[in-house]
Structure 1
């Protein structure tokens, strides 16, 4: 009985919240107001962050756009996860962002692998009973 309750709503709800938190925190630090990126966010993408790919590291293309897209996704996707709406898609997008973060900060893999595991669990098993996806009929029992 306890296992059914945990797998039905507690575990997926905690997974959604746990995955949302680090991205939300990163996102709110990129903004000075509504649609107003702070200079630090742009600076990071233009001067500090590099993609560690073979033959690199390489600078991010269009750093202002990258900061805007990243900051927007880091606000919107965690909100979707917390309320459990389009949860699998939000988790997939955060999984993709995790891969990019890993390419940017390769030494952060112990944390990044936990984000990836949470995202993959949500993609595979869904948001659970306590979600708007369930209420809206996007996810079934």
Structure 2
């Protein structure tokens, strides 16, 4: 690769990474959450079946796990997309990814590693300049002056 090509590629702004990762993570978790409900947030019978028989988490009842996971996927995916409480929301989804990897689908490590890489970036760097977090930071800085 030439120096000129490298310089052109290096001009891709960092905020594009955060934005694309926020959209990708939103699509993964929100799409998954929507398959577990009918209507707005009514859990399907099949969701309870999955949590009882296929997912079978060891330290929590399958009913509680179904509700918590489904609602968490909805909430944290939306917050990540909006860039609001991005670091906390990404951390929650990272923990969920670890639980899925360890207890549910350990053979799917390549997919989970991809999610984890994006989520770790968002935990470390936040949602970027096109996020509600940044708007809140600017407003707080304006009040501090």
Flag the 1:131–1:5 CA change in 2: closer, same or farther, 3 A. farther
Q: Return the alpha-carbon distance in structure 2 between the equivalents of residues 26 and 73 of structure 1.
A: 11
Q: Any unmatched runs of 5+ in structure 2?
A: 1-7
Q: Any unmatched runs of 5+ in structure 1?
A: 52-57
Q: Does residue 88 of the first structure (1) align with residue 94 of the second (2)?
A: no
- Identify the residue that residue 6 of structure 1 maps to in structure 2: 13
Structure 1 stretches of 4+ moved >3 Å:
1-5
Q: Does residue 134 of the first structure (1) align with residue 134 of the second (2)?
A: yes
After superposition, the C-alpha distances for 1:106-139 in whole angstroms (9 at most, x for unaligned) are 0100000000110101111111000000001189
Flag the 1:81–1:108 CA change in 2: closer, same or farther, 3 A. same
- Larger C-alpha radius of gyration, 1 or 2? 2
Root mean square deviation of aligned Cα: 2.1
Shift of 1:4: 5.9
Matched residues, number: 132
Q: Return the alpha-carbon distance in structure 2 between the equivalents of residues 111 and 22 of structure 1.
A: 11
Flag the 1:4–1:127 CA change in 2: closer, same or farther, 3 A. farther
- Identify the residue that residue 23 of structure 1 maps to in structure 2: 29
Pick which of 104-113 and 60-69 moved more.
60-69
Higher helix share: 2
